Amino acid sequence: MRIIRAKDYDKLSKKAASIIASQVILNPESVLGLATGSTPIGTYRELVRMYNEGIISFKDIITFNLDEYYGLDKGDKQSYSYFMYDKLFNYIDISKNNINIPNGKTDDIQRECHGYENKIKKSGGIDLQLLGIGKNGHIGFNEPDLKFEALTHLVKLDKETIDSNSRFFSSIEEVPKMAISMGIKTIMHSKKIILLASGEEKGKVIYEMIYGKITPKLPASVLQLHPDVTVIVDKEAGYML
């Protein structure tokens, strides 16, 4: 694992966006895996800036998002689909047909999950996957478990995740209890991975992810086995390193 320490959140966002931008410049038809949560917001802001300055174009880029809440329509303001349009897609030249996000409103979970996996495969696989990390070590919505769940699947969210994500909802009751998420194998098949962490509350999990035992109880620890992972932390998230 390559560890990059950024001075603050702004620098972290700029470094992450620069790595994504170089991927897009080197291969304008790249397949990008994208993440939600508060951590990548600054990265998306930087990518929009670079697009506006004519440094990068997303015209032929394909994207796959990691996850989506089960039961939320894509137009729902709390959905990850809404988030992605609001933070990135509405401001760049990506073709709508190239945007892939699991359908949280599917009436056939099996078909949705298989279909998502097949689409990733057909597109040639993910060239660069952006990740955040949950305080409990989740990546995407792969929660701590007794085994690694391989492929895109329906997940029951942990109480800790529901609590933590309730800050985006008006009440905790509104937070969906389930989600559709890429699996660990799906993520591990990406050619390159960047994981971002900001803030002191992520410090312990980042330390355990890098130096601890590889275990499904801390899903992100599996990244130790991936050949090309870059972890970008700000000062606070890197305090134990």
Which residues are identified as catalytic? Answer: 67, 136, 138, 143
Q: How far is the CB of 25 from ligand GLP (least distance, A)?
A: 26
Question: Residue 13 or 161: which CB sits closer to ligand GLP?
Answer: 161
Burial level of 70, CB count in 10 A (0-12/13-18/19+)? Answer: buried
Closest CA to 78 of 188, 213, 171: 171
Question: Residue 23 or 165: which CB sits closer to ligand GLP?
Answer: 165
Chain centre to alpha carbon of residue 154: 16
Question: Residue 12 or 133: which CB sits closer to ligand GLP?
Answer: 133
Radius of gyration (C-alpha) of the chain in whole angstroms: 17
Question: Residue 56 or 231: which CB sits closer to ligand GLP?
Answer: 231
Q: How far is the CB of 143 from ligand GLP (least distance, A)?
A: 9
Q: How far is the CB of 203 from ligand GLP (least distance, A)?
A: 13
Q: Dihedral of the CA atoms 17, 18, 22, 23 (nearest 10)? A: -30
Question: Residue 167 or 213: which CB sits closer to ligand GLP?
Answer: 167
Question: Residue 98 or 161: which CB sits closer to ligand GLP?
Answer: 161
Can you tell me the distance from the alpha carbon of 155 to that of 162, in angstroms, rounded to the nearest whole number? 12
Relative orientation angle of helices 80-87 and 41-52, to the nearest 10 degrees = 40
Q: How far is the CB of 138 from ligand GLP (least distance, A)?
A: 6
Q: How far is the CB of 55 from ligand GLP (least distance, A)?
A: 25
The amino acid sitting at 217 is K
Can you tell me the distance from the alpha carbon of 182 to that of 150, in angstroms, rounded to the nearest whole number? 8
**C-beta neighbour count of 234 within 10 angstroms:** 23
Q: How far is the CB of 78 from ligand GLP (least distance, A)?
A: 12
In sequence order, which residues have a C-beta less than 8 Å from that of residue 98 and are 6 or more positions away?
60, 61, 62, 63
- HSE, side-chain direction, 13 A CA sphere, residue 18: 10
Tokens encoding 206 = 């980042």
Can you tell me the distance from the alpha carbon of 40 to that of 175, in angstroms, rounded to the nearest whole number? 20
The residues that touch ligand GLP, with contacts defined as CB under 6 A, are 35-39, 66-67, 132-134, 140-141, 161, 165
